[in-house]
Copies of this chain bind each other. A is one copy, B any other.
Amino acid sequence: MLVTDETQFSKRASQFDLCAYLSTRQEQVEAALDRSLPVIYPEQIYEAMRYSLLAGGKRLRPILCLATCELMGGTIEMAMPTACALEMIHTMSLIHDDLPAMDNDDYRRGKLTNHKVFNEAVAILAGDGLLAYAFEHIVEETQNVPPDRLMKVIARLGRAVGAAGLVGGQVVDLHCEGACDVKIETLNFIHAHKTAALLEASVVSGGIIAGASDADVQRLSQYSQAIGLAFQIVDDVLDITSTQEELGKSVGKDLRAQKVTYPSFWGIEESKRQAQQLIEQAKSEVAGYGDRALPLMAIADFITARTH
18 example contacts (A-B, Cβ-Cβ < 8 A) are as follows A42-B163, A44-B171, A44-B175, A45-B163, A96-B125, A125-B170, A129-B167, A131-B132, A132-B161, A132-B165, A133-B158, A133-B163, A135-B157, A136-B154, A136-B155, A139-B155, A139-B158, A147-B147
A159 in the interface (beta carbon within 8 A): yes
The 4 A-B residue pairs with the shortest CB-CB distance, nearest first, are: A136-B158, A101-B120, A132-B162, A147-B147
User: Which residue among A46, A119, A135, A151 has the maximum number of chain B CB atoms within 10 Å of its CB?
Assistant: A135
Q: Does A121 contact B (CB under 8 A)?
A: yes
Chain A positions within 8 Å of B, measured between CB atoms, are 42, 44-46, 49, 92, 96, 99, 101-102, 119-122, 124-125, 127-129, 131-137, 139-140, 147-148, 150-152, 154-155, 157-159, 161-163, 165-168, 170-172, 174-175
Copies in the complex: 2
Q: Which residues does chain B contribute within 8 Å of A155, judged by CB atoms?
A: 135-136, 139-140
**A127 CB contacts on chain B under 8 angstroms:** 128
Q: Which of A132, A151, A172, A174 has the most CB of B within 10 A?
A: A132
A38 to chain B minimum Cβ distance, whole angstroms, is 11
Summarize A's interface: helix, strand, loop or mixed. Answer: helix
Q: Which B-chain residue is minimally distant from A101 (CB atoms)?
A: B120
Using Cβ atoms and an 8 Å threshold, which residues of chain B touch A172?
42
